Amino acid sequence: MKSNIALLTATFLLSTGCAINPTKFLGTYQSTCVLYSKSALIMKLNTSEKFEYYMAYVDDSITGTWEIKEKTLILQSDYFSVKYVENDASYDPENRPIFKFTGAKDMDLYLIKGRKLLPIDNEGGYTKSCYLVKVR
């Protein structure tokens, strides 16, 4: 009987579109990796689905939009696109600056694991060694 109730509850929650509440992810995240004596990346997820990246080797902040689908945080920015860099007059394909943190093409993807965001690569795998953790 208990298993039937659990099955009915799970079916109801799935059919009503129960999803992760995106507002609980608002805040500041910091990379566990260090570069030039600083965190390699600090990311702020703001309201209205906007984000900011602050990288140890980039002077400006990198901005874009974010959304959550299932257990994946998806970040999109003009800075992540190769086309953006190619339009720069100083573009050099051999020495192209990296404005992204994950291996996903033209976007950054993170697997959500509690307070941790694990970078997802092009093959759909993720790393546990260099991830973001919520600090505020």
Separation between Cα atoms, residue 26 and residue 22, nearest integer Å:
7
Task: Give SS3 for 7.
Answer: helix
The answer to whether 119 and 130 are in contact (CB under 8 A) is yes
pLDDT number for residue 10: 35
Q: What is the pLDDT of residues 88-132, one digit of tens each?
A: 666 555 555 567 888 888 899 999 999 999 999 877 788 788 899
Task: Give SS3 for 86.
Answer: helix
**48 vs 87: which has the higher pLDDT:** 48
Mean pLDDT (whole number) for 68-74 = 94
pLDDT number for residue 39: 85
Q: Sketch the domain layout of the chain as residue ranges.
A: 20-134
The answer to whether 66 and 43 are in contact (CB under 8 A) is no
Residues across the chain: 136
pLDDT number for residue 123: 76
The total of other beta-carbon atoms located within 10 Å of residue 12's CB is: 10
Report the topology of domain 20-134.
Answer: Lipocalin (2.40.128)
User: For residue 51, which phi and psi values (nearest 5 degrees)?
Assistant: -135, 160
Q: What is the CA radius of gyration of the chain?
A: 18
pLDDT number for residue 64: 94
Instruction: Assign residue 106 a region (left: φ > 0; alpha: ψ between -120 and 50; beta: otherwise).
Output: left
What's this model's pTM, rounded to 2 decimal places?
Answer: 0.72
pLDDT category at 63 given cuts 50, 70, 90 is: very high
Q: What is the pLDDT of residues 7-44, one digit of tens each?
A: 333 333 334 445 567 678 899 999 998 887 888 889 99
End-to-end alpha-carbon separation of the chain, Å? 43
